Homo-oligomer: A and B are copies of this chain.
Amino acid sequence: MKVPLVVIVGGGFGGLAAAKELKRSPVDVLLIDRSNHHVFQPLLYQVATSVLAPGQIASSIRSLMTEQTNTTVMLGNVTGVNAASRQVIVDADDKVGIRISYDYLILATGATHSYFGHDEFAAFAPGLKSLSDAESLRNHLLDAFEKAEIEDDPDRRKALMTFVMVGAGPTGVEMASAIAVMTQTTFRKDFRRIDPKSAHIVLADMASRPLGTFSEKLSEAARQRLVSLGIDVRLGKPVQSIDGDGVIIGDERIQAKTVVWTAGVAPSPAGKWLGCTVDRAGRVRIQPDLTVPDHPDIFVVGDTASLDQNGRPLPGVAQVAMQQGRYAAKSIFRRVIGHTALPPFRYFDKGNLAVVGKNFAVLQSAGIQLSGFMAWLVWALVHIQFLAENSLRFSVLLQWAWTYVSGKRGDRLIIRKLSDS
């Protein structure tokens, strides 16, 4: 009898969870990703601020799947799905349009930045989704201080030392506070002409409070902490424009050589591939069993899927993706062995965490609301625990301990091609 082939597209939280769950299923698994590594996105901001090295938050997908002999890993870029003929279409290396037939398909293709119709912002306000994004932001941040150190013109120097985060969700809050901590600890005595502590760090959002997914009380605690770190928190006003020299927030122009896009995300084009119903953001409307209407063999999970629970859409977070990936895998297993279907998917929310600089986080979980040092400890432990490999847990823990004590950062590198003169 032919062994069914499960094709999983995407090696993020959802796809990887699905692949691992299928380890002992009587199926073959093909896991396709555009990049050769799984990234722990919640810590990308620490790569961007020189604390962690890229390799400390990323693992080779191939290496993660070595022992899982029913699984093949493929580096390729999926460009479409032909649901009628049950095929995914992949570009790999110089081969365009390879067709791969599946018995079951799990689309876990995630999300990318959304500039809400202002794609012209992209060139001036990069986002933070991949290791490449984090490395170029790291280069840019370090370079800004190097340039400020040799700049004589006070206005240009000020623009070089102004950093604007657009979007006060977890990523914006974490980036802004990480830059503040960097200027106050690591950089403190490193420059001779500029005072890194005088950096102007702006966190802007249209919303009236930061960390909107948290309670008002925790938002306020986070806001106070941000202010005490010296961050200029600007709420309730839209960012009207972004160019190479700064931003306009509300009706005020701020000259800034660094703007980071920490606002919206847009789903992958999975909805377009399938030609199915999508929500307002473009995410695939899936059924309670995570399949696409009329396509019981296609599951869509994670940030690119849209599913309501208790009348509200599930958030685009790692936990949802992982639980959905595992559910899809279990569901396929039961169908393959001829078992009854699972009850509809239910997301179990373990809670919500965001860190604000050193020694401070906010935590909201099962009725508990906590801010401060204890929440920060929980944050650290949870993030260590969710890394993909033991070796990374050990390495990140050591790095954090060292940076915590010494104030130094291990990856303070501007890496770029030097032209030989």
Chain A residues within 8 Å of B, Cβ to Cβ: 34-37, 53-56, 58, 60, 62-63, 66-67, 72, 74-77, 79, 92-93, 95, 98, 112, 130-132, 135-136, 142-143, 146-147, 149-151, 186, 189-193, 269, 391, 395, 398, 402, 406, 408, 410-418, 420-421
Task: Determine if B37 and A413 form an interchain contact, defined as CB atoms under 8 angstroms apart.
Answer: yes
Task: Determine if A150 and B95 form an interchain contact, defined as CB atoms under 8 angstroms apart.
Answer: yes
- Lowest 8 CB-CB distances: which A-B pairs, in order? A60-B412, A55-B411, A75-B146, A53-B53, A36-B414, A93-B147, A53-B55, A72-B192
Other than A77-B421, A93-B150, A132-B417, give 13 A-B pairs with Cβ distance below 8 A: A36-B413, A53-B54, A53-B411, A62-B191, A66-B189, A74-B149, A76-B150, A92-B147, A92-B150, A93-B151, A112-B420, A135-B415, A391-B402
Q: Which residue of B lies closest to A135 (CB)?
A: B415
Choice from B63, B131, B395, B414 contacting A412 with Cβ under 8 Å? B63
Please list 26 pairs of residues, one from A and one from B, whose beta carbons are closer than 8 Å in the complex, sorted by A's number: A35-B418, A36-B142, A36-B413, A37-B414, A53-B55, A53-B56, A55-B411, A58-B413, A60-B413, A62-B190, A63-B190, A63-B408, A74-B149, A75-B143, A75-B149, A76-B150, A77-B421, A98-B150, A130-B417, A132-B415, A132-B417, A135-B415, A269-B421, A391-B406, A391-B408, A395-B410
Q: A132 and B408 in contact (CB under 8 A), knowing A54-B413, A413-B36?
A: no
Choice from B56, B416, B420 contacting A132 with Cβ under 8 Å? B416
Q: A415 and B131 in contact (CB under 8 A), knowing A75-B146, A421-B77?
A: yes
Task: Determine if A79 and B135 form an interchain contact, defined as CB atoms under 8 angstroms apart.
Answer: no
A63: chain B residues at CB < 8 Å are 186, 190, 408, 412
A69 to B60 Cα, complex, angstroms = 43
A180 to B190 Cα, complex, angstroms = 42
A76 to B147 Cα, complex, angstroms = 10
A37: chain B residues at CB < 8 Å are 412-414
A36 to B409 Cα, complex, angstroms = 14
Give, as a whole number of angstroms, the nearest-CB distance from A113 to chain B.
8
Task: Determine if B415 and A79 form an interchain contact, defined as CB atoms under 8 angstroms apart.
Answer: no
Task: Determine if B130 and A418 form an interchain contact, defined as CB atoms under 8 angstroms apart.
Answer: yes
Task: Determine if B53 and A421 form an interchain contact, defined as CB atoms under 8 angstroms apart.
Answer: no
